[in-house]
Amino acid sequence: MKKEDFKKLGRLFLGFAIVLGAVISILTLVGSNESVRKYLAGFFIVVLGLFGAMNVVDVDHEQGTASNDLYFVNEVIDGDTIKIDGDMKVRLIGIDAPESSECYYEEAKNELIRLVQGKYVRLDKDIDSVDGLGRLLRYVYVPSNDLIENDIFVNEHLLLYGYAQTFSLPPNKRYNMSFVKAREQALIQRKGLWSNECDYLNEFEQEHVLTREINELPSDPNCIIKGNISSRGAGKLYFPLGCSSYNLIKIDTSKGEQYFCTEEEAIVAGFTKSGNCP
């Protein structure tokens, strides 16, 4: 429940308490309706108790907002670095946003500004706490004001929407697989810096060519089920997004491998689902 809702309920209970108190006072003065007066007095005590409980919950909520390891973001330096509580710099773990001279710099920085500037954020560290420049290394979360909604995991969000690339720096690798999956989704859907607006996609493909493994991207960003022909005798297997080895599977159409839009298409083409998929 939001803080404003707690306050509204508190005011409602206070109003009931005032009205009941007035009625009980009148009945006491006229000296009649003893049973009604006792009933109302009991109800009055219950309302007061509820009002007190609401105030306690509201105070706890206020304290949780102002403390509980929350830090105020007063500046966004670039797409992966922020300043908190004065001059303390925080470098987001696991991502690398474009530098000021690179394509998509402004877009990445503006998205991070939209997410965190002028807000309280929660910070979570991994193994190494500080980098060589003295910056805190952290995972950053924007707390939700609604119990139903999840907090925003800023590091992952920037990867998922194409505002940054993955940047693995051991030993801080708690979310490496999640980050790779987020980047893969953005890359496949040509989001952000992976769009034709920049040249990052070509650079990415060239890096993979250097490994002497062909990894063709899908022609349709909605068709991302990988149909792979195993070189180890496992036959024709398909891998939907979410399989543990999805990001390791390469597609080479010259070998008969391909992407599918649905699992049904893959099955009709003679592929079976890999055993490491949920």
Q: What is the pLDDT of residue 23?
A: 59
What pTM was estimated for this model as a whole? 0.55
Q: Does the pLDDT at position 59 exceed 70?
A: no
Query: What's the farthest any 2 CA atoms get from each other in the chain?
Result: 98
Cα(253)–Cα(70) distance, integer angstroms = 50
pLDDT of residue 3: 44
Nearest-angstrom CA–CA distance, 188 and 167:
18
CATH number of the structural domain 70-193: 2.40.50.90
> Which residues, 6 or more positions from 120, have their beta carbon under 8 angstroms from its beta carbon?
65, 66, 70, 71, 72, 73, 143
Q: How confident is the model at residue 271 (pLDDT cuts 50, 70, 90)?
A: very high
Evaluate if residue 27 carries a pLDDT over 90. no
Amino acid identity of 215? Answer: N
Q: Which amino acid, 105? A: Y
Tens-digit pLDDT profile for residues 143-161: 987 766 789 999 999 999 9
Q: What is the pLDDT of residue 252?
A: 87
Alpha-carbon dihedral sign for residues 216, 94, 82, 134: negative
Least confident of 11-15, 57-61, 111-115: 57-61
Distance CA 79, CA 112 (A): 6
Cβ–Cβ under 8 Å, residues 229 and 256 = yes
- Annotated domain spans of the chain: 3-66, 70-193, 225-273
